Structure 1
Amino acid sequence: MRFPRSSGVLLHPTSLPGPHGSGDLGASAYHFVDWLAAGGQALWQMLPLGGIGAGNSPYMSSSAFAGNVLLVDLDELQRRGWLLPGEVTALEGGDAHRVDFATVIPWRMAHLARAAQRFAGAGSAADRAEYDAFCAAHADWLDDYALYMALAEAHPGRDWCDWPAPLAFREAAALDAARRVHAVRIAFWRFGQWCFFRQWAALRAYANERGVRIVGDMPIFIAHQSAEVWARPDLFELDAAGRPTVVAGVPPDLFAETGQRWGNPLYRWSAHAGEGYRWWIERVRRTFELVDIVRIDHFRGFAGYWEIPASEPTAMHGRWVPGPASALFRAITDALGELPVIAEDLGVITPDVEALRVEFGYPGMRILQFAWGESGGAEARFLPHHHVPDCVVYTGSHDNDTTLGWWAGAPEATRHHLREYLATDGRTPHWDLMRAACASVADLAVHPMQDVLGLGTEHRMNFPGTPTGNWSWRFTWDQVPGEAAARLRRMAQLYERLPAAEDGAPAAA
């Protein structure tokens, strides 16, 4: 599907400013939408919205369907009367530029639990009816999710396959008993999801009303320690004890000498095919209930994926295995119609991956940081004169260094190539690359917020292949240059990326 020519900013909501230790769906998110609109930006791209998993990664979620309850705006719960005046104060200490997950998670969860308790005891009839309607509408995944999360809390530090066998393997009597024993916590997890979905719907509507579309991110894989793997083990490559036999990752590349061993269980694609890919159709349907455009992470894994024996400590000794390819996306298209999808086609891209992307009309990605250096590592397809309209261009992704950090470590040959190619002195390489992205024929151009702010390596979001120290970056509003929005708007105007309703509007002062 082709997209209207436009541009936007990549920023995960946890990176937003705010007084409660991490960004959320509160006032700062609405202010960011206003800032995007003022800057002539039509896209807000973010990372997966599901709950975080190992290493605080949004790509290791405990559910393919649930939202991240850490994003719930506590101030809105206070306005509803479920938190009392004075209960929601600023989280003391910490670093305004980093999420301290060890502190933030228990603090936020304790507040959410108090709100759930008050709602259970004194929620209005209208709120109760809305909550009940939500639970009914999402029962196909919410019931398993809430029970799973309650059981995971009751068995801390243990994988679901190490729970007592009747619970691990979902014996009906054991699950019925668990629902009675853990009724309060099950209700808590349902309440948290209701709050997330309700607040998210309001924020998305606010963005759409201002011409900003949400670009979501759907990971190809989910965590082994997740509600769906526990509920449907037959759909994953597990042994009789429920443990993965093979896991996901990618072979050695520029990011990691020994490859990346992600550890997610791989899909038993024959079982998915036997059901007409029903699980995937529902997953995609639910994702589009949250966002306007979906970036499918690791798209190449649907053509062929890197299978690593679970016993291997690194990704070096894996093998390529054919994926479901056209059969999956044909089933999704037949069920849901043509969808606004971006294919993350980075890494080892073979002709079958490109053919799959083209068959379904999904635009791919171009990363400008990969383009430079006339010898040694540069890829010609990332150079602007090789771009095609049906693609999305980025200065870098969440897996890249910031442009200033990349520039600081780039060899002189790379710097010389960029300076000569873009006819620049290289003093502001972040703006040089953002301008090149906007000038590209690519339909969409997306700028990481770190590049808009001109930040260095210490503000990077993720270091692929490293298990800790990621996903915690935040900014503060005083870091945002006063001219940044006007500069983005002027570039959007110059390169015809302003939202359609604003074509011909003068640039902001």
Structure 2
Amino acid sequence: MARAAGILLHITSLPSPYGVGTLGREACRFLDFLERCGVKVWQILPWGPTGYGDSPYQSFSTFAGNPYLIDLEELAEEGLLEKEALAAIDWGEDPGRVDYEKLFAHRFAVLEEAFSQGFDPSEEGYRSFCQEQAHWLPDYALFMSIKEQYSQRPWWEWPRPLRLREAAELADFAQEHRGRIAFWQFVQYLFYRQWREMRAYAAARGVKILGDLPIYVARDSADVWARPELFLLDGEGFPTEVAGVPPDGFSADGQLWGNPLYRWDVLEAEGFAWWIRRVQGAYAFCDTLRMDHFRGFEAYYSIPAGNATAAGGEWRPGPGLKLFQALQDALGELPIVAEDLGFLTPAVHRLLQETGFPGMKVLQFAFEPWGDSIYLPHKYTSDCVVYTGTHDNDTSTSFLQGGGPQAAFCREYLGAGEEAGSWALIRAAWQSAGDLAIAPMQDFLALGREARMNTPSTIGGNWQWRLLPGQLTDDLALRIRRMGRLYGRDEGKTEDWK
């Protein structure tokens, strides 16, 4: 990696008058802001359609895009929607928070209006898109149509013939609901088209998009429903074992994620073809991938289905280097950042070294009172990505205001006073040896706990924070650019501030 700086901000957190950040004008304005900052990397969270708990890590498809992210103003400019009608919809009272309940209530009706105005199955762009995405799009559109028909219930609660994909029943349903299937395909066409435009805009401004690929897919997803043989399910489609992490010093019960586990032997027998398509599809959206829960590729924690907690599971060997060799053989160079946080064994360190992927260093994890953490900046080598915090951390301002031995050690280590804020951590990340340094947008704005994006193992109140119009000022861009030039993360001389 070249030495550079990045900002972490999910697309949903952009401003917009329609309840959530989207791919259109505001995304371009943010890219303009990054260019003014001299920032070369925009890190986002997973972009798939959100399901349970509104989490981007629990998506209805690993290949599809989130319909909420489609820019409605662009559709209005194309004549598919009326701006007056959009303005009359109640998208939520607080422009600084996403109201997912109101989004769900209104967004799809708006997209249905665009569909009725603009769907043309003979249009060349739409036809080409359907052909290019034929390996997943029909299954996804059918999956979403069945969910609609059965009041959004998860697929394992559908009638048995549909749950187990009996061919005659699926064919009958597809014929009867072909209009709805076409709608879901059209929505994905809009999403992909707008994303390609945004990515081209980013490339023209020298900004690379760093995406996020969860290791597991959601149980209630078209991925599991369409290819059950790739997952540890019984003959009725119910999981026999599920994902999570074991009890540790932070959680006596561990973390019970509940995602289905892979049948790695079946995937390997197919030459990891499903994973190759998955990663190839992700690179259509971004330049680099953060590979979530990297340690799960060396060994994964398996919990018997039905357990109330993560206790009682066991570690099992993952695919290891064989998966990444197959990916590289098929796709060439793999620009990947390994999310190597948590308890790591020597075998995980070996896999990271064998792949050559840079790992992550998170400053908020560094300041244990005993002072020997691997996340302390003086221990970094260049081949890592340094974060002040991630989407799962509190904001750095709140972290430092929280008191206790960690905050005290942090202030002493950084040579900062009692009033030290998030910029002290940003400076530490930027001046470190790590090739890439990233901070969440909330840290640049010195925001407190109210701006936290996610609190792990909780449901409700997460993934909601948004930028307000006017917060991305020229003064802020200049301050970020000066920091980058001071520490070699932006071109130009340090005295050439403007």
Fold shared, TM-score > 0.5 on shorter chain: yes
* Equivalent pair of 1:215/1:295 in contact (CA under 8 Å): yes
Per-residue deviation, 1:473: 1.0
Q: Which residue of 2 aligns with 1:16?
A: 14
Q: How does the TM-score come out when normalised to structure 1?
A: 0.94
Q: Distance in 2 between matches of 1:287 and 1:255?
A: 32
Q: Which residue of 2 aligns with 1:492?
A: 484
Count of matched residue positions in the alignment of Structure 1 and Structure 2: 497
What SS does the corresponding residue of 1:87 show, helix, strand or coil? helix
1:419 has 2:427 as partner: no
Q: Distance in 1 between matches of 2:361 and 2:355?
A: 18
Q: Which residue of 2 aligns with 1:64?
A: 62
Partner amino acid for 1:14?
A: T
Q: Distance in 1 between matches of 2:228 and 2:121?
A: 39
Per-residue deviation, 1:481: 5.5
Correspondence 1:49-448 to 2 at 5 A? 49-89=47-87, 91-92=89-90, 93-120=92-119, 123=120, 128-253=123-248, 256-375=251-370, 380-411=373-404, 413-448=405-440
Per-residue deviation, 1:94: 1.8
Q: Distance in 1 between matches of 2:249 and 2:4?
A: 30
* Equivalent pair of 1:222/1:265 in contact (CA under 8 Å): yes
Q: From the superposition, tell whether residues 254 and 458 of structure 1 become closer, same or farther in structure 2 (CA, over 3 Å).
A: farther
Partner amino acid for 2:304?
A: P
1:458 has 2:456 as partner: no
Q: Distance in 1 between matches of 2:107 and 2:372?
A: 44
C-alpha offsets along residues 108-161 of structure 1, whole Å, 9 cap, x if unaligned? 1111111011113xx597xx1111110111111101111111011111243212
% identity of equivalent residues? 49
Per-residue deviation, 1:337: 1.3
Q: Distance in 1 between matches of 2:96 and 2:248?
A: 30
Per-residue deviation, 1:355: 0.9
What SS does the corresponding residue of 2:256 show, helix, strand or coil? strand
Per-residue deviation, 1:460: 0.6
What SS does the corresponding residue of 1:249 show, helix, strand or coil? strand
Partner amino acid for 2:30?
A: F
Q: Distance in 2 between matches of 1:180 and 1:401?
A: 49
What SS does the corresponding residue of 1:342 show, helix, strand or coil? strand
255-264 vs 310-319, which moves further: 255-264
Deviation >6 Å, runs of 4+ = none
What SS does the corresponding residue of 1:477 show, helix, strand or coil? coil
Per-residue deviation, 1:269: 0.8
C-alpha offsets along residues 178-206 of structure 1, whole Å, 9 cap, x if unaligned? 11111111111111111111001111110
* Equivalent pair of 2:401/2:407 in contact (CA under 8 Å): no
* Equivalent pair of 1:4/1:443 in contact (CA under 8 Å): yes
Q: Distance in 2 between matches of 1:64 and 1:157?
A: 18
Q: Distance in 1 between matches of 2:296 and 2:368?
A: 28
Q: Distance in 1 between matches of 2:275 and 2:159?
A: 29
Correspondent of 1:25 among 17, 23, 39: 23
144-153 vs 170-179, which moves further: 170-179
Partner amino acid for 2:268?
A: A
Q: Distance in 1 between matches of 2:332 and 2:471?
A: 42
* Equivalent pair of 1:147/1:179 in contact (CA under 8 Å): yes
C-alpha offsets along residues 257-288 of structure 1, whole Å, 9 cap, x if unaligned? 42221111111111101111110011001100
66-75 vs 90-99, which moves further: 90-99
Q: Distance in 2 between matches of 1:507 and 1:415?
A: 35
* Equivalent pair of 1:48/1:216 in contact (CA under 8 Å): yes
Per-residue deviation, 1:457: 0.9
Runs of at least 5 residues in structure 1 that lack an aligned partner in the other structure: none
Q: From the superposition, tell whether residues 424 and 124 of structure 1 become closer, same or farther in structure 2 (CA, over 3 Å).
A: same
Partner amino acid for 1:451?
A: D
* Equivalent pair of 2:421/2:446 in contact (CA under 8 Å): no
Per-residue deviation, 1:319: 1.6
* Equivalent pair of 1:461/1:471 in contact (CA under 8 Å): yes
Runs of at least 5 residues in structure 2 that lack an aligned partner in the other structure: none
Per-residue deviation, 1:426: 4.2
Q: Distance in 1 between matches of 2:466 and 2:369?
A: 35
Per-residue deviation, 1:507: 4.5
Q: Distance in 2 between matches of 1:50 and 1:118?
A: 25
Q: From the superposition, tell whether residues 320 and 205 of structure 1 become closer, same or farther in structure 2 (CA, over 3 Å).
A: same
C-alpha offsets along residues 329-373 of structure 1, whole Å, 9 cap, x if unaligned? 111111111211000000111111111111011000000011113
210-219 vs 240-249, which moves further: 240-249
